[in-house]
Amino acid sequence: MNWLYSTAALCLLSAIVAGLLRILRGPTAADSMLAAQLFGTCGVAILLLLSKGLDWLVLQDIALVFALLAALAAVAFALRTWGGTER
């Protein structure tokens, strides 16, 4: 596997770990949720890098599912946790 891909994947995983602190610290619910959304984006990027580096096409399908379903949690959050208070 090309070193460029693996190093980039490692950097992205480090970004996820750094984002974990934001989830734990907050301070608001939106901060935590956006960190989780960042994980979704990083996850897609990691999967695409691995797919390219390992020449493994299946990973693109997983990245597709990641990208599609990350939006679901965001919508649920926006409707149920964040904006839903006035209803």
Partner 1 sequence: MTDAMGIFDIMLALVLPWLGWRLLASPNLFRAVVLFISLGLLMSLAWVRLHAPDVALAEAAIGAGLTGALFLSALRRLERLRDSERRLDYAEKREEEQNLPPEKRRKSKPVAYVLALFLLSVFLLLLGGALLKTPVAPGRLGPAVAGQMGQSGVQSRVTAVLLNFRGYDTLLEVMVLFLAALGVWSLTRVRQTPQEKVPGPVLATLVRLLVPLMITVAGYLVWIGSSRAGGAFQGGAVLAAAGVLLLLANVTVVRQIPSTLLRWALVLGPLLFLLSAVACMSIGGNLLEYPRQSAGSWILLIESATAVSIGVTLAALYAGGRPHEPAAREAIVDKSADTKVKNGEGA
- The length of the chain, given as a count of residues: 87
Residue the block writes with tokens 């190093």: 7
Site for partner 1 contains 27 (CB under 8 A) = no
- Fill in the DSSP letter of residue 84: G
81 binds partner 1 (CB under 8 A): yes
Residue 9's alpha-carbon distances to 24, 42, 43, 50, 60, in angstroms, are 23, 9, 9, 7, 15
Q: Is 9 in the site for partner 1 (CB under 8 A)?
A: yes
How far, in Å, CA of 27 to CA of 22, rounded? Answer: 8
**Nearest approach, Cβ of 14 to partner 1 (angstroms)?**
7
Q: Is 48 in the site for partner 1 (CB under 8 A)?
A: no
Q: Please report, as ranges, the residues that interact with partner 1 according to CB under 8 A.
A: 1-3, 6-7, 9-10, 13-14, 16-17, 20, 23-24, 26, 29, 32-33, 35-36, 39-40, 43, 46-47, 50, 56-59, 61-62, 64-66, 68-73, 75-81, 84, 87
